[in-house]
């Protein structure tokens, strides 16, 4: 695949619209790195997106009507590589990001499920999840199993056929000097399209 054929979608999963939040800067760093490498890129910023919460199975079975969600679905179909960047809140992704993923998944967008199994609809795509947290990342992995991130990797992206799904966990948010290092690392990931 040439760089021109590599379509990178970055989903900035920080629900706080305050542009001083580190996750916004990390999303921008990834996009800048991908642009530098010549990849085609798009970005969805959840903090600027109206997302409603689903309450019933009947709603989940119906196709979404929201222009923002329809646009996001088109971006996901277009992408060959999906990057989701978000903070860990209470051990998992923020509820707003989960609500976005539920809205996107409506009406069998990720997979068509039948009594004989499921047909994955996003095969051929890869992904990276980048999560920031206050606790040390090793503690999140060892003591908590990183289940909040793995649930998206396996139960959302993996269920849809996205493979591989790589994880980058940044612990110690708010500590001196980590932001500059993380921004460099994420920009490098963007340059590699990884």
- The CA distance from 38 to 41, in Å, is 9
- The CA distance from 46 to 44, in Å, is 6
Q: Specify the number of domains making up the chain.
A: 1
| Residue 31 belongs to domain spanning | 3-192
The model's pLDDT over 85-130, given as tens digits with 9 standing for 90+, comes to 999 999 999 999 999 999 999 999 999 888 888 899 999 999 999 9
> Which stretches of 34-179 are assigned E, i.e. beta strand?
40-45, 81-87, 111-114, 117-120, 126-133, 165-171
- The CA distance from 179 to 155, in Å, is 30
Q: Which CATH number covers residue 128?
A: 3.40.50.360
Q: What is the pTM of this model?
A: 0.95
């Amino acid at each position: 695949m040439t760089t021109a054929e590599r379509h990178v979608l970055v989903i900035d999963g920080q629900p706080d619209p305050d542009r001083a939040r580190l996750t916004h800067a990390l999303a921008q760093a990834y996009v800048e790195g991908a642009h530098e490498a010549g990849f085609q890129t798009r970005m969805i910023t959840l903090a600027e997106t109206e997302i409603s919460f689903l309450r019933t199975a009947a709603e989940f079975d119906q196709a979404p009507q929201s222009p923002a969600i329809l646009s996001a679905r088109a971006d996901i179909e277009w992408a060959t590589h999906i990057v989701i960047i978000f903070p860990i809140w209470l051990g998992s992704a923020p509820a707003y990001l989960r609500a976005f993923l539920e809205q996107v998944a409506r009406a069998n967008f990720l997979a068509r499920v039948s009594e004989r199994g499921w047909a994955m609809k996003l095969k051929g795509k890869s992904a990276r999840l980048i999560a920031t947290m206050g606790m040390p990342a090793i503690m999140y992995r060892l003591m908590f199993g990183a289940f909040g991130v793995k649930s998206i990797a396996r139960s959302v992206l993996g269920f849809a056929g996205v493979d591989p799904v790589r994880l980058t966990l940044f612990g110690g948010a708010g500590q001196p000097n980590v932001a500059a290092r993380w921004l460099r690392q994420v920009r490098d990931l963007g340059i590699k399209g990884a």
